[in-house]
């Protein structure tokens, strides 16, 4: 969604060449994205196993090489060759690189681009440091090591860009602490403008997101072990619906409970969340800001989150969200909201108003104009 908002904005001022990635498989379907771009290049990535043992093996190799997760995958020699071929002979007014793990592409863009911008969805050193605090050994050791690798890379590379974008002020300050020479602007995460959905409310609570994303895995496991048992015991009819793609990544933690539902990917996350009485965001780590909360606000649903889960958003406890870190207290708040339709309606209305005021693409466009990313075609 963040990438889409920036791409949409740029398409209003520039002829856009989109270079994007897809995992190559023997039965790859035609590339589904239809962006506002005049040219699209798809870089084929090698396929790899996604089970936990294979992931552990890849990360062990990265630790030995001192390489960040995904940097080796997206910036391998073959990917570099494909990107280099795609931009050969072209000249660009502006180049935007999405995600820190693609930052090495600055060396290809710099000779043929007037201005190169890095869009940070997360600060990787902060993300891994947070995961190190919430994970058991040996995962905590791996994240500590990755945090040090990321911090070193961030200090060395962020000043190489003409501009760095972050999704919130807290991340802007973190970038400047890591690299005082960096030039940083805030562009918030936003969603397309959307009408408030009219969906029948079910007796469920919901969690949503890419379930392969490590902080989401940890959040699901934490909620399943410490909060859900309290809710399950006190309300024998309540169900917990876990919404999002890559559901295999959390299946082992949720198996054996018929009152926990895994939906897999859905066509419209906002409509899916609108069927819940309460949306839960029990994150213990992360960076950037959470799209899942914006989606819940757009759905006018009551949200209960940890403080780190709502970091960087215009969250006001009691007005548009409930913020609590203690598991037992979170269970109490969720239970009270499920039982009180007026209270959850007030909270959901506050979230919807926040979305309408600052959570949609026009807000991102205003920030991008302030960052001077618009220009003549």
- Provide the CATH number for the domain around residue 295: 3.40.50.2000
Do 222 and 187 fall within a single domain?
A: no
Q: Does residue 377 form part of some domain? A: no
pLDDT band, very low/low/confident/very high, at 31 (cuts 50, 70, 90): very low
**Tens digit of each residue's pLDDT (9 = 90 or more) over 314-329:** 999 999 999 999 999 9
**Per-residue tokens: 170:** 């807290």
Do 57 and 89 fall within a single domain?
A: yes
Q: Which domain holds residue 342?
A: 204-359
Do 180 and 279 fall within a single domain?
A: no
- Percentage of the chain exceeding pLDDT 90: 90
Do 130 and 150 fall within a single domain?
A: yes
pLDDT band, very low/low/confident/very high, at 35 (cuts 50, 70, 90): low
Q: Are 202 and 167 in contact (CB under 8 A)?
A: no
Does residue 33 register a pLDDT over 50? Answer: no
**Tens digit of each residue's pLDDT (9 = 90 or more) over 209-254:** 999 999 999 999 999 999 999 999 999 999 999 999 999 999 999 9
DSSP 8-state secondary structure symbol assigned to residue 316? -
Do 155 and 40 fall within a single domain?
A: yes
Tell me the H-state helices in the chain.
2-11, 52-65, 71-74, 77-87, 106-109, 124-134, 139-157, 169-178, 214-222, 228-234, 251-254, 269-274, 291-298, 327-339, 341-358, 361-370
Q: Does residue 167 form part of some domain? A: yes
Do 347 and 366 fall within a single domain?
A: no
Which pLDDT score is estimated for 26?
A: 45
pLDDT band, very low/low/confident/very high, at 48 (cuts 50, 70, 90): confident
Do 259 and 165 fall within a single domain?
A: no
Q: Are 279 and 205 in contact (CB under 8 A)?
A: yes
| pTM score | 0.94
Which pLDDT score is estimated for 34?
A: 56
Does residue 27 register a pLDDT over 60? Answer: no
**Tens digit of each residue's pLDDT (9 = 90 or more) over 138-180:** 999 999 999 999 999 999 999 999 999 999 999 999 999 999 9
Do 248 and 101 fall within a single domain?
A: no
Do 166 and 310 fall within a single domain?
A: no
Phi, psi torsion values for 126, nearest 5 degrees: -70, -40
């Amino acid at each position: 969604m963040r990438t889409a908002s920036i791409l949409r904005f740029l398409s209003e001022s520039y002829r856009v060449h989109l270079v994007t990635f897809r995992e190559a498989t023997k039965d790859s379907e035609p590339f589904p994205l239809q962006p506002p771009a005049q040219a699209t290049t798809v870089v084929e990535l090698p396929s790899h196993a996604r089970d936990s043992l294979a992931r552990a093996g890849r990360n062990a190799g990265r630790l030995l090489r001192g390489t960040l997760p995904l940097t080796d995958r997206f910036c391998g020699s073959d990917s570099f060759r494909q990107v280099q071929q795609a931009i050969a002979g072209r000249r660009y007014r502006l180049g935007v690189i999405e995600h820190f793990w693609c930052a090495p592409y600055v060396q290809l863009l710099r000779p043929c681009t007037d201005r190169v911008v890095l869009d940070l969805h997360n600060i990787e050193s902060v993300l891994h440091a947070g995961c190190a605090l919430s994970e058991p050994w040996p995962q905590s050791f791996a994240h500590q090591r990755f945090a040090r690798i990321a911090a070193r890379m961030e200090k060395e590379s962020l000043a190489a860009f003409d501009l760095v974008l972050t999704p919130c002020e807290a991340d802007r300050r973190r970038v400047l602490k890591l690299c005082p020479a960096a030039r940083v602007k805030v562009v918030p995460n936003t969603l397309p403008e959307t009408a408030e959905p009219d969906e029948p409310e079910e007796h469920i609570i919901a969690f949503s997101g890419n379930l392969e994303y490590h902080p989401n895995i940890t959040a699901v496991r934490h909620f399943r072990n410490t909060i859900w048992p309290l809710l399950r015991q006190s309300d024998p009819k309540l169900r917990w619906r876990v919404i999002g793609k890559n559901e295999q990544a959390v299946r082992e933690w949720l198996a054996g409970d018929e009152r926990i539902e895994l939906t897999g990917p859905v066509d419209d996350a906002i409509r899916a969340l609108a069927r819940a009485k309460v949306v839960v965001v029990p994150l213990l780590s992360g960076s950037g800001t959470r799209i899942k909360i914006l989606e819940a606000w757009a759905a006018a649903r009551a949200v209960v989150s940890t403080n780190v889960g709502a970091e960087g958003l215009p969250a006001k406890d009691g007005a548009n969200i409930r913020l609590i870190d203690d598991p037992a207290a979170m269970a109490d708040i969720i239970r009270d909201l499920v039982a009180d339709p007026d209270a959850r309606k007030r909270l959901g209305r506050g979230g919807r108003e926040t979305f309408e005021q600052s959570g949609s693409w026009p807000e991102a466009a205003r920030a991008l104009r302030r960052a001077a990313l618009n220009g003549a075609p």
